[in-house]
Amino acid sequence: MSQPDFSQARCHSYPVQIFYEDTDFSGVVYHANFIKYFERAREQVIGANELRRLWLEQGLGFAVYRCDMVCNEGVEFADIVEVRSRVLIESKYRTLWQQEIWREGGSRPAVSGYIEMVCLNQQRQLTPMPAQLMASLLEA
Protein backbone atom coordinates (compact mmCIF):
# COMPACT_ATOMS: atom_id res chain seq x y z
CA MET A 1 0.00 0.00 0.00
CA SER A 2 1.45 3.37 -0.96
CA GLN A 3 1.67 5.80 1.91
CA PRO A 4 0.05 9.20 1.33
CA ASP A 5 1.18 12.33 3.13
CA PHE A 6 -0.49 12.56 6.52
CA SER A 7 1.74 15.41 7.72
CA GLN A 8 -1.06 18.01 7.55
CA ALA A 9 -3.68 15.78 9.20
CA ARG A 10 -4.49 16.41 12.86
CA CYS A 11 -3.20 13.75 15.25
CA HIS A 12 -5.74 12.26 17.65
CA SER A 13 -4.55 10.50 20.78
CA TYR A 14 -6.25 7.57 22.54
CA PRO A 15 -4.67 5.84 25.58
CA VAL A 16 -4.90 2.06 25.98
CA GLN A 17 -4.13 0.08 29.13
CA ILE A 18 -2.79 -3.37 28.26
CA PHE A 19 -4.54 -6.03 30.30
CA TYR A 20 -3.45 -9.61 30.91
CA GLU A 21 -6.32 -10.82 28.69
CA ASP A 22 -4.78 -8.91 25.75
CA THR A 23 -1.60 -10.94 25.83
CA ASP A 24 -0.41 -14.37 24.79
CA PHE A 25 1.37 -16.85 27.03
CA SER A 26 4.56 -14.76 26.98
CA GLY A 27 2.89 -11.56 28.21
CA VAL A 28 3.10 -9.82 24.82
CA VAL A 29 -0.03 -8.40 23.16
CA TYR A 30 -1.55 -10.84 20.68
CA HIS A 31 -1.30 -9.18 17.26
CA ALA A 32 -5.04 -9.22 16.47
CA ASN A 33 -5.68 -6.99 19.48
CA PHE A 34 -3.82 -4.11 17.83
CA ILE A 35 -6.61 -3.99 15.26
CA LYS A 36 -9.11 -3.66 18.13
CA TYR A 37 -7.13 -0.77 19.60
CA PHE A 38 -7.11 0.94 16.20
CA GLU A 39 -10.89 0.46 15.94
CA ARG A 40 -11.48 1.99 19.37
CA ALA A 41 -9.35 5.00 18.47
CA ARG A 42 -11.25 5.56 15.19
CA GLU A 43 -14.52 5.39 17.11
CA GLN A 44 -13.24 8.11 19.43
CA VAL A 45 -12.37 10.36 16.48
CA ILE A 46 -15.80 10.01 14.83
CA GLY A 47 -17.78 9.63 18.06
CA ALA A 48 -19.91 6.70 19.17
CA ASN A 49 -23.08 8.81 19.16
CA GLU A 50 -22.41 9.97 15.61
CA LEU A 51 -21.76 6.41 14.42
CA ARG A 52 -25.01 5.27 16.03
CA ARG A 53 -26.95 8.21 14.58
CA LEU A 54 -25.61 7.56 11.08
CA TRP A 55 -26.72 3.94 11.30
CA LEU A 56 -30.16 4.56 12.81
CA GLU A 57 -31.12 7.68 10.86
CA GLN A 58 -29.33 7.23 7.52
CA GLY A 59 -28.56 3.50 7.39
CA LEU A 60 -24.84 4.18 6.96
CA GLY A 61 -21.91 2.31 8.46
CA PHE A 62 -18.24 1.67 7.83
CA ALA A 63 -16.18 -1.38 7.02
CA VAL A 64 -12.47 -2.05 6.77
CA TYR A 65 -11.55 -2.47 3.11
CA ARG A 66 -7.82 -2.88 3.62
CA CYS A 67 -5.51 -3.10 6.61
CA ASP A 68 -1.72 -3.03 6.49
CA MET A 69 0.00 -3.45 9.86
CA VAL A 70 3.65 -3.66 10.89
CA CYS A 71 4.71 -4.73 14.39
CA ASN A 72 8.10 -3.20 15.18
CA GLU A 73 8.31 -4.28 18.81
CA GLY A 74 6.22 -6.05 21.38
CA VAL A 75 3.80 -4.34 23.70
CA GLU A 76 3.48 -6.04 27.06
CA PHE A 77 1.06 -6.66 29.89
CA ALA A 78 0.63 -3.57 32.14
CA ASP A 79 1.94 -1.13 29.50
CA ILE A 80 -0.08 2.00 28.85
CA VAL A 81 0.25 2.94 25.20
CA GLU A 82 -1.00 5.77 23.04
CA VAL A 83 -2.82 5.15 19.77
CA ARG A 84 -2.15 8.07 17.44
CA SER A 85 -4.60 8.42 14.56
CA ARG A 86 -4.65 10.62 11.49
CA VAL A 87 -7.32 10.52 8.80
CA LEU A 88 -7.48 11.59 5.17
CA ILE A 89 -10.54 11.67 2.93
CA GLU A 90 -9.48 9.61 -0.09
CA SER A 91 -12.81 9.92 -1.93
CA LYS A 92 -16.47 10.47 -1.10
CA TYR A 93 -16.66 6.74 -0.32
CA ARG A 94 -13.35 6.11 1.43
CA THR A 95 -11.18 7.31 4.29
CA LEU A 96 -7.57 6.37 4.90
CA TRP A 97 -6.25 6.16 8.44
CA GLN A 98 -2.67 6.20 9.62
CA GLN A 99 -2.61 4.72 13.09
CA GLU A 100 0.36 4.09 15.34
CA ILE A 101 0.77 2.60 18.78
CA TRP A 102 3.44 4.32 20.84
CA ARG A 103 5.01 3.26 24.10
CA GLU A 104 5.87 6.04 26.53
CA GLY A 105 9.26 7.46 25.60
CA GLY A 106 9.42 5.40 22.41
CA SER A 107 11.61 6.57 19.53
CA ARG A 108 9.39 4.90 16.94
CA PRO A 109 5.92 3.37 16.90
CA ALA A 110 5.68 -0.12 18.34
CA VAL A 111 2.97 -0.84 15.77
CA SER A 112 2.02 1.05 12.60
CA GLY A 113 -1.11 0.59 10.57
CA TYR A 114 -2.75 1.95 7.45
CA ILE A 115 -6.46 1.25 7.32
CA GLU A 116 -8.82 2.01 4.44
CA MET A 117 -12.44 2.38 5.49
CA VAL A 118 -15.43 2.47 3.14
CA CYS A 119 -18.92 3.80 3.74
CA LEU A 120 -21.72 1.27 3.19
CA ASN A 121 -25.49 1.35 3.32
CA GLN A 122 -27.59 -1.32 5.06
CA GLN A 123 -27.51 -3.46 1.91
CA ARG A 124 -23.70 -3.39 2.21
CA GLN A 125 -23.34 -1.37 -0.95
CA LEU A 126 -20.72 1.33 -1.35
CA THR A 127 -22.33 4.71 -0.70
CA PRO A 128 -21.05 8.29 -0.36
CA MET A 129 -20.27 9.62 3.09
CA PRO A 130 -22.43 12.55 4.19
CA ALA A 131 -20.73 15.88 3.46
CA GLN A 132 -21.12 16.90 7.11
CA LEU A 133 -19.17 13.84 8.24
CA MET A 134 -16.38 14.48 5.74
CA ALA A 135 -16.13 18.08 6.93
CA SER A 136 -16.04 17.06 10.59
CA LEU A 137 -13.29 14.50 9.91
CA LEU A 138 -11.18 17.15 8.22
CA GLU A 139 -11.73 19.57 11.12
CA ALA A 140 -11.41 17.01 13.91
Q: What is the structure's pLDDT at 140?
A: 61
Q: What is the structure's pLDDT at 6?
A: 92
Q: How far apart are CA 60 and CA 119, in angstroms?
A: 7
Verdict on whether the full-model pTM lies above 0.85 = yes
For 67, residues 6+ apart whose C-beta sits below 8 A from its C-beta are 35, 113, 114, 115, 116
Within its chain, how far is the Cα of 38 from the centroid? 4
Q: What is the structure's pLDDT at 2?
A: 64
Q: What is the structure's pLDDT at 136?
A: 87
Tens of pLDDT, residue by residue over 45-65, are 999 999 999 999 999 999 999
Domains of the chain: 12-139 (3.10.129.10)
Beta bridge partners of 84: 13, 100
Determine how many CB atoms are found less than 10 A away from the CB of residue 126.
Answer: 14
Q: What is the structure's pLDDT at 64?
A: 97
Q: How far apart are CA 80 and CA 117, in angstroms?
A: 26
Tens of pLDDT, residue by residue over 75-125, are 999 999 999 999 999 999 999 999 999 999 999 999 999 999 999 999 999
Cα-atom radius of gyration of the chain, to the nearest Å? 16
